[in-house]
A and B are shown apart, each in its own frame.
Chain A
Amino acid sequence: MHQINMNFINLIPLFPLLGAIFCFALRDKKPSILCGITASLMVFLSFVSSTASVFALSGAASPAGTETVIVSNNFTWISAGDLKIGCDLMFDRLSAVMLFVVTFVGFLIHIYSIGYMIHDKDSNRFFSYLNLFVFFMIILVTAKNLVLMFVGWEGVGLCSYLLISFWWSDPANAAAGRKAFITNRIGDFAFLSAIFILYWLYKSCGFETGFDFIKLAENFKALSAALPSSGFVVIVDLVCVLLFIGASGKSAQIPLYVWLPDAMAGPTPVSALIHAATMVTAGVYMCVRLGFLFAASALALKIIAFTGVLTAVFAAVIAMAQTDIKKVLAYSTVSQLGFMFIAVGCGAFTSAIFHLATHAFFKSLLFLGAGSVIHSLAGEQDIMKMGGLRKLIPGTFTTFFIGVYAISGLPLMSGFFSKDEILLYSFAGPHSSAIFYALATLASFLTSLYMHRLLFLVFYGSFRGDAKKYGHIHESPAIMTVPLYILAFFSIFSGFIVFFKSLNFKTLLASYQSAIAAANISHSSEYSVMGIALTAAFAGLIAAYKFYISSNDYLSKINNAFAAFIKIQENKFYIDELYDLIIISPLKSVSIFLHKIIDVKFIDDYIVGGTVRGFKYINSALSDAQSGRVQGYLSAMAAGLAVMTVYVLYNSIR
């Protein structure tokens, strides 16, 4: 790998950090548009610098057959013994894609937020957190080593927590933030364990990597030669599974997805930026970044693909019964993340990143559109109280429509291309499997179905909400709709990137994918997969049309037939209740037991209190001894002296 040193890339994370500090300094001041503009400008500058870096990267001459990476070796951050970890950044094509998503989508969402948060008294604080999030996200995707990446990983987790519970005065929001944080801890624990094992693994074979991704990848082959193959496979399997558990915490996969729907308690731009477009995809990014490891672990890939496919279907089923507009989108995000993990699990890392990028556009579009709907309905989120908004808020409708079409994978939209890739690899890729393919196609059908259900319930039919509200419905201001148009544009066209041969997107991750034998995929299977995918998407559309627009007969029939199932579905399969029953309640009872019995009774009362009582008792005895009577003093002296003398003499004759 050819490395060129350019400290220029440090600017990319620097701008949002400055913005965060600036806005945080003004957090107690009267909210003004200044903070919003500064914050947006900083993200924009960061977007400009990352674009400049792209040009620098493509302009750099590299020896044939090698990949060029821009690095910036800043300083040694941790130095412990012979372990040296640098605070270094890198910029390769993978980072470039991620940075484009983070800074560009981030910029649009910042702009949108100016309009969305203008009336909030804490908007300065909001922009400070938002910029801080962008900073940490940039650190995450540009970190040159795993440990620095973990810093970004934790940083975005922190910002997510801060922003979910942004309106913390409502206990429900605070609880949602806490849930996100604690659930992520479980994943982080696995991630950290993986880092430790990785250190031990490289160290035991004498490689000093400092967790540097490039060195890790370069030494990996030598590592497999240095260890007995069976043991090596077990360790790599273990590391990869632990890493995936970490990824599934951040990227909301079964069983750790439960925090993401609750995270919708935060302001809608936050849901769009953090919980749809960027942070939740960090797990996918991490798996791809460490693709050379995962490529060596067939077991981990199977687990990933299986989890992904299960999550994709399961979340889609739940999404069908949700009535909160943001919850539908949240489960949809979980499901789409499942798709990305299917791609990872099938060894199609490029496709995973491709879907990540297109998803970032259409899902943030959908969230911002939902925000616009909520905004125009003055805070109403229940889709059962919406309907017929098509005419009233045409701008939002048009863009939302495009978003729905893109995510459903209808022809020529971005989602069509990226999802098709994933289905293709699950059908004919190097780690493909018929079950994965079948379930992924089912999930694809369900996606189309629940997204159209959402579209029809919100924008078609007649208004079902409070009649008084109807008159007040108005289109959002331009500062909110313009980002929607731009995102809509990318939702349509970002898929076409595959046709631009010069961009070379297919070999984005050549160096990582080379570890996996390229599958020879025939054109016939390509076309048949595409055909089936289209059929599934249209079937979803038609089913939704039948249920929600043409007549309600089907729906009520189905509702009657499967009433029990639908009840379960509406309640999200009682997963939260199940976790509560098997994990949280026992923990709480243990905690109460430890508090009431062990701590208060035993430790506080018996041990601590007993010690205090003991000391008090001895103390009062001593006070009594210090009576002020000289006879007593002298007797004590004499007694002490007698004991001393006897002791010493006895010892000497023994």
Chain B
Amino acid sequence: MSKEELIIGLYSLAPLIIAGITAAIILVISAAGESRAGSGRLRAVNAAEKLSYLAFTAMAFISAVHFIKIKGPLTLFHNAVFFDHYSAAAGFIFSVMGIFTIFIAASEMKSESSRFQPEYYALLLSAAIGSLIMAMANDLLAAIVGIEILSFSTYILCALDNKNKRAVEGAFKYFLTGAAAGALFLFGLAHIYGGAQTTFISEIPSMAAVNVQGPGPGAPLLIGLVFITAALLFKAAAVPFHSWAPDAYDAATVSVAAFMTYFVKAAVFILIFRIFAAAFIFMASSITGVLSVIAVITMTLANIAALYQNNLKRMLAYSSISHTAYMLIAVICSAGVYKNAVADCGAYIIFYLVSYFFINAAIFSALAMLSPGENRVHTIEDLKGLGFKKPFFSASFSLALLALAGIPATSGFIAKFFIFYNAFLSNHHALVLLAVINSLIAFYYYIKIIMAMYMQKPESGETAVSFGNAGRESAICLAVSSALIIILGVYPEVIVKLAKLAVISSF
């Protein structure tokens, strides 16, 4: 490795390095004896929070610099990682998501009664490391390393409240099934290596052409693709690989649930799109049928399961599953018939992730502001009668819900519109129709929450939740996210253009 290579390697990995060092420092802080409880814990949490802010801000900044300065796609470390606009954009998005997550976590971390430890921030940072590796991976082996780093961080985050049996149970189920998914990925990877003699994303198409005899891609590649797809669909929570999601969301605290909805989902979809568009687009026709069926089943079952769900976090888990299906449609369409299909679909997936991020940031920061008391779940009943009592809170929360439902003038609408329109152009008419019907079904359970806030009275006469220790941070996050929902809904062009640029220059 020459000196230039080393320098550019360090430059490209700077966000990971920052995240790693910061995580290590935080672990050291929390390891100190007096950091476990009382005012010592609070001090340690404050310090860790400040440090992780700094780290994420620096990562965002460096990713932005990467995005601006990179001339074209590069592969580094003997082709193991990509260094391109796509990975830089992903790095920037992950960093901003990290900052928002810390905001949302503030009220549950910093209250006097909280038992949560400063490791929380170290785990966030290590999750970011995993996601960054996923976004940059060229070698599928690197990708699985990234996936596992992200997954393990998430398992632990879910179980953070280790005195709560429900949380531990949910996290453990997530871990068990997640381990199975990791095995699927590796199994699939072995088959791919058998078929194409390579594990590099960028080389699979050309190597497959050389190594596979006879018509079609051949059984090893097909089996490999199916298994890898299944593993990634597990991480994205698509039916029938979704079962972990409701339990894990329910187990997790509000900020961790938020983290799982947008952060994990974004990391997984960034990787899915990379693998699908860069490595397997030549055999897309053999997998799109299955993916379409999965998309339809996923959105339908998720929406129906959410219909009568009273537990808000479980409902949002199902909602998150249904949104996976919509993004899956864009993945399917990237193998579309018309020009620029890859660029458009990639851009629309990124836009969807960004829009979905802000919407869920708003929703979960609203949930973070509610404090239903120890070990109690958020239910729709908790929200009854809040509408006119807390006008700012209720209006923003309703706005975010409407955005999830895809009402015009919100980013949720535009994001869905792009994907559906694209699917329509790609002649997936039935898929669009079913997706639209599903959006309609979903509207019911989103509007149910708004109805509870504005049109129903709490049974006891008093609202069930208090805003006692609602952090300032959550309110700020709610306000900013709501504003961005509207801004992106009215003026999506900037993000779409940048996303298109990233995809075009990287693929």
Contact = CB atoms under 8 A, between A and B. Distances in A.
B177 A637 contact: yes
Interface string A497-516: 00000000000000000000
B217 interface: yes
Interface string B221-259: 011011101100010000111011011000000000000
Interface stretch (A1-9, A137-145, A617-625): A617-625
Contacts of A80: none
Given A626-B305, A637-B241, A648-B287, 14 more contacts: A616-B307, A618-B301, A619-B305, A622-B305, A625-B243, A630-B176, A634-B180, A639-B240, A640-B239, A644-B226, A644-B294, A647-B289, A648-B222, A648-B226
Contacts of A647: 289-290
A560 B203 CA distance: 112
Interface in B384-420: none
A649 B191 CA distance: 14
B173 interface: yes
Chain B CB within 10 Å — which of A648, A649, A651 has the most?
A648
Chain A CB within 10 Å — which of B223, B241, B294, B304 has the most?
B304
B304 to A, nearest CB: 5
A636 interface: yes
A622 B297 CA distance: 12
A619 B177 contact: no
A630 B222 contact: no
A609 B244 CA distance: 32
Contact of B234 (A619, A630, A637, A649): A637
B241 A619 contact: no
A645 B290 CA distance: 9
Prevailing SS type, chain B contact patch: helix
Contacts of A634: 176-177, 180
Count class of interface residues, chain B: 35 or more
Interface string B155-196: 000000000000001000100110011001000000000000
B301 A649 contact: no
A280 to B, nearest CB: 46
B308 interface: yes
A633 B304 contact: no
B226 A645 contact: yes
A323 to B, nearest CB: 54
B230 A641 contact: yes
A531 interface: no
B216 interface: yes
A628 interface: yes
A632 interface: yes
3 interchain residue pairs of minimum CB distance: A640-B240, A633-B243, A622-B305
B290 A615 contact: no
A652 interface: yes
Contacts of B222: 648-649, 652
A124 B353 CA distance: 59
A630 B180 CA distance: 11
B227 A641 contact: yes
Given A641-B184, A644-B226, A649-B219, A630 B286 contact: no
8 contacts: A626-B247, A630-B173, A640-B230, A640-B239, A640-B240, A640-B241, A645-B226, A651-B289
A111 B441 CA distance: 61
Given A630-B173, A641-B184, A618 B243 contact: no
Interface residues of A, number: 25
Interface string B292-310: 0010000001001101100
B67 to A, nearest CB: 36
A633 B177 CA distance: 8
A640 B234 CA distance: 11
B223 A615 contact: no
A382 B227 CA distance: 93
A626 B219 contact: no
Contacts of A649: 219, 222-223
A649 B227 CA distance: 12
A623 B286 contact: no
A633 B289 contact: no
Contact of A626 (B226, B229, B243, B307): B243
B243 A652 contact: no
Contacts of A645: 223, 226-227
Contacts of A622: 301, 304-305
B244 A616 contact: no
B230 A619 contact: no
B290 A644 contact: yes
A377 B356 CA distance: 75
B6 to A, nearest CB: 42
Given A622-B301, A637-B180, A644-B290, A652 B217 contact: yes
Given A630-B176, A634-B177, A640-B230, A648 B286 contact: yes
Interface string A308-334: 000000000000000000000000000
A598 B438 CA distance: 26
Contacts of B247: 626, 628
Contacts of B180: 634, 637
B307 A615 contact: yes
Contact of B304 (A615, A626, A637): A615
Nearest to B215: A652
Nearest to B441: A615
A369 to B, nearest CB: 56
B230 A644 contact: yes
Interface in A564-613: none
A637 B240 contact: yes
A641 B234 CA distance: 11
A623 B307 CA distance: 11
Contacts of A628: 169, 173, 247
Nearest to A639: B240
A640 B289 CA distance: 14
A648 B177 contact: no
Contacts of B294: 644
B305 A623 contact: yes
A615 B230 CA distance: 28
Nearest to A614: B304
A615 B304 CA distance: 6
A626 B222 CA distance: 30
Contacts of B243: 625-626, 632-633, 636-637
B177 A630 contact: yes
Nearest to A625: B243
A564 B138 CA distance: 103
Nearest to A632: B243
A635 to B, nearest CB: 10
Interface in B257-314: 286-287, 289-290, 294, 301, 304-305, 307-308
Nearest to B283: A652
A405 B270 CA distance: 93
B358 to A, nearest CB: 29
Interface string B198-218: 000000000000000000110
Contacts of B286: 648, 651-652
Interface in B320-356: none
A564 B267 CA distance: 92
A470 to B, nearest CB: 61
Interface string B428-441: 00000000000001
B184 A619 contact: no
A651 B217 CA distance: 12
A622 B321 CA distance: 14
B304 A618 contact: yes
Given A637-B177, A637-B234, A619 B307 contact: yes
A126 to B, nearest CB: 38
A619 B176 contact: no
A630 B244 CA distance: 9
Nearest to A628: B247
A618 B223 CA distance: 32
B244 A641 contact: no
Contact of B246 (A615, A618, A619, A626): A626
B236 to A, nearest CB: 13
A340 B349 CA distance: 71
Nearest to A638: B180
